[in-house]
Chain A
Amino acid sequence: MQKVEEIDELCKRYFRLYDKYIQLQTSLQQSLKSGYWNLARSRHSGVRIIESMIPGSIIPQRVIQPTTRNTTDDATISSVGALTLQDNEDSDSLEVNNVKAKSDPLYWFGYLAPPQLRRCQKEFAQATDIAVDLANIKIQMAEVQARYQELRNSS
């Protein structure tokens, strides 16, 4: 009986996670659409955004770190893999001929960036956060699925 209840709980949890997954997918789609749109508007207002202005060697501003976390949702799952987005300590600047180029991509195409380009950067940064959340949800869904399969096979 306890097993049946546990299976029911796992199913409920799985569907909650799936619902959140769909919502995050929609948000990601909106963020990316808005980001590309603002990029087009920046080009339209005169900013030259071309591949040749991007530095040859790029140091990322944020990196993904795999961590472990303890879940409180289900007592049987204690520590699982997860991803977090952290600021990159090495991303101070690029140095060319002792001159520091800005590491913030906003300034690669001209120091006086128009508001559309700033909005574009914000949207893409938000999309990155959402993508990491999506990956974490998928990890959790896979764990729930594995546990469910284990319980079904043992019954």
Chain B
Amino acid sequence: QVPSVGVWRRNACLICSFEMSNNSGKGSAGSSLTFNINDGYLDALLRGFRIGILTTADYSNLVQCDTLEDMKLHLASTDYGDFLANEPSPLHTTTIQDKCTLRMVKEFTHIRAQAAEPLATFMDYISYQYMIDNVVLLITGTLHERDITELIEKCHPLGMFDSMATLSVATSISELYNNVLVDTPLGPYIQGCLTEVDLDEMNIETVRNTLYKAYLEDFHQFCLEMGGPTAEMMDKILSFEADRRSINITINSFGTELSKDERQKLYPNFGVLHPEGIMKLAKADDIEQVRQALDYYETYKRLLSDSMGGGGLGEKSLEDSFFEHETALNKDAFENQFSYAVFYAYFKLKEQEIRNIVWIAECIQQKQKQKINQFIPIF
């Protein structure tokens, strides 16, 4: 017996109220009823871009190349097209990297230009990490007496802001904040380390990590407030990013003058490792103690043992294991719908693709073809 119209109407209302109650956050990001109104077109466009990501077949063609010119030919038959056509030969790996990055930037700006809120703010958050890298590059270059115009040319295009040229006058962190960062989106992030101490390499690293920690925490909070599948997926991705930063800061600080207290201040305050794992990492003095600290966390224990158990020659570094796990998380983002996580995931996968292409190019140029398969295939 066919249900009556009344029954259909009642069921439709139940579904609507269920959807609405699932999304208690800002906007209606993640609601299957309303996502496509503002963001459907860009979501579809992005999924179209995603199909152009290089596949295993493309990589198997690239690894068989003997010169960078051959690589250029093979890349011409992919979505990259003849992006290297006007480059003078001989090609360099840095040229390939720059041109691939420019393509990614073009896609990003195309989507960002058409994004409505809250997607626009979400994409701005993605660009802040490049802004932090640019700020650090400019301060370091100034410390090393390099010309500011030369440094600005080397900045990442997605991280540009108006007062970049004035970074050369900042000699201490509080000057940096008062004269430059206060008018940029990074202003609030520097609150944690405002001092009058002069900028040297160690302080610059502290600035970089403090900015990044505050940015990551702010981005994480923004995603959680959005609710729905965006919050669910971005929580996983950003938690991994926070944990990865904590582990890398710990390992790279061995043998430097960075004290344990200073190191602990740089760890983000969210993630799987927070708070017990973080406390153990803060006390670690060598890689063995890091391994013990991560022993209770199955994923990280596996990643660390993969990188150290591989013949002891360091063929697969910890960074490679992290990239592999990050790629897996980003691929999962595409399995869900009505989520902004696909936008973040796509650009991270593009970055991984560029790393892969540059890796293959370096192996070809340095005639180390036996190590060429250490890239991470995506699809």
Does B319 touch A at the CB level, under 8 Å? yes
Chain B residues with Cβ below 8 Å from A46 are: 319
Q: A40-B362, A114-B319 are in contact. Are A52 and B200 (CB under 8 A)?
A: no
Q: How many contacts between A and B, using CB within 8 angstroms?
A: 96
Partner of A107, one of B154, B201, B358: B201
Chain A residues with Cβ below 8 Å from B202 are: 111
Does B288 touch A at the CB level, under 8 Å? no
Does B137 touch A at the CB level, under 8 Å? yes
Partner of A102, one of B201, B253, B255: B201
Q: How far is the CB of B197 from chain A (nearest CB, A)?
A: 10
From residue 29 to 49 of chain A, which have CB atoms closer than 8 A to chain B? 33, 36-37, 40-41, 43-46, 48
- The reply to whether A101 and B253 contact each other, CB–CB distance below 8 Å, is no
From residue 76 to 110 of chain A, which have CB atoms closer than 8 A to chain B? 94, 96-102, 107-108, 110
From residue 291 to 329 of chain B, which have CB atoms closer than 8 A to chain A? 314, 317, 319-320
- The reply to whether B258 and A111 contact each other, CB–CB distance below 8 Å, is yes
Does B71 touch A at the CB level, under 8 Å? no
Q: Chain B residue with minimal CB distance to A58?
A: B144
Partner of A52, one of B133, B150, B171: B150
Q: A99-B143, A116-B317 are in contact. Are A50 and B201 (CB under 8 A)?
A: no
Bound-complex Cα distance A108 to B249 (A): 17
Bound-complex Cα distance A50 to B151 (A): 10
Bound-complex Cα distance A120 to B194 (A): 34
Bound-complex Cα distance A118 to B317 (A): 14
Q: How far is the CB of A75 from chain B (nearest CB, A)?
A: 47
Chain A residues with Cβ below 8 Å from B368 are: 33, 37
Chain B residues with Cβ below 8 Å from A45 are: 317, 319-320
Q: A46-B319, A99-B199, A112-B205 are in contact. Are A53 and B144 (CB under 8 A)?
A: yes
Q: Chain A residue with minimal CB distance to B367?
A: A33
Bound-complex Cα distance A101 to B145 (A): 10
Bound-complex Cα distance A97 to B143 (A): 9
Partner of A55, one of B145, B204, B248: B145
Chain B residues with Cβ below 8 Å from A114 are: 248, 252, 319
From residue 199 to 217 of chain B, which have CB atoms closer than 8 A to chain A? 199-202, 204-205, 208
Partner of B151, one of A52, A113, A115: A52
Query: Chain B interface residue count: which class?
Result: 35 or more
Bound-complex Cα distance A113 to B317 (A): 14
Bound-complex Cα distance A101 to B141 (A): 11
- The reply to whether B366 and A41 contact each other, CB–CB distance below 8 Å, is no
Q: How far is the CB of A47 from chain B (nearest CB, A)?
A: 10
Does B256 touch A at the CB level, under 8 Å? yes
Bound-complex Cα distance A55 to B144 (A): 4
Question: Considering residues B141, B143, B151, B358, which has the most beta carbons from chain A within 10 angstroms of its beta carbon?
Answer: B143
Q: How far is the CB of A38 from chain B (nearest CB, A)?
A: 9
Q: Chain A residue with minimal CB distance to B144?
A: A55
Chain B residues with Cβ below 8 Å from A44 are: 319, 355, 358-359, 362
Does A56 touch B at the CB level, under 8 Å? yes
Bound-complex Cα distance A108 to B314 (A): 24
Chain A residues with Cβ below 8 Å from B136 are: 110
From residue 131 to 159 of chain B, which have CB atoms closer than 8 A to chain A? 133, 136-137, 140-141, 143-146, 150-151, 154
Does A54 touch B at the CB level, under 8 Å? yes
Chain B residues with Cβ below 8 Å from A36 are: 366
- The reply to whether B144 and A54 contact each other, CB–CB distance below 8 Å, is yes
Q: How far is the CB of B182 from chain A (nearest CB, A)?
A: 22
Chain B residues with Cβ below 8 Å from A53 are: 137, 140-141, 144, 146
- The reply to whether A99 and B171 contact each other, CB–CB distance below 8 Å, is yes
Does B66 touch A at the CB level, under 8 Å? no
Does A57 touch B at the CB level, under 8 Å? yes
Chain A residues with Cβ below 8 Å from B253 are: 112
Bound-complex Cα distance A116 to B202 (A): 19
Residues of A within 8 A of B (CB): 33, 36-37, 40-41, 43-46, 48, 50, 52-57, 94, 96-102, 107-108, 110-116, 118
Residues of B within 8 A of A (CB): 133, 136-137, 140-141, 143-146, 150-151, 154, 171, 198-202, 204-205, 208, 248-249, 251-253, 255-256, 258, 314, 317, 319-320, 355, 358-359, 362, 366, 368, 371
A to B CB contacts below 8 Å, 7 in the list: A43-B362, A44-B319, A45-B320, A94-B145, A102-B201, A111-B256, A112-B253
**5 smallest A-B Cβ distances: which pairs?**
A111-B205, A112-B252, A45-B319, A55-B144, A56-B145
